Amino acid sequence: MKHTFWLLCIVCVLQGCATVEPWERGTMAREEMAFVPDKLDQNFRDHIHYSKEGARMVGAGSGGGCGCN
pLDDT at 64: 53
The dihedral of CA 17, 19, 24, 28: what is its sign?
Answer: positive
pLDDT at 5 over 90: yes
Higher-pLDDT residue of 7 and 19 is 7
Query: pLDDT digits over 26-61, tens only?
Result: 887 887 777 887 888 888 988 888 777 766 655 545
Q: How far apart are CA 66 and CA 69, in angstroms?
A: 9
**Quick check: 54 and 65 in contact, CB under 8 A?**
yes
| Average pLDDT over every residue of 11-22 | 80
pTM: 0.37
CA torsion 54-57-28-15 (nearest 10°) is: -120
Q: How far apart are CA 69 and CA 54, in angstroms?
A: 10
Confidence of residue 4 (pLDDT cuts 50, 70, 90): very high
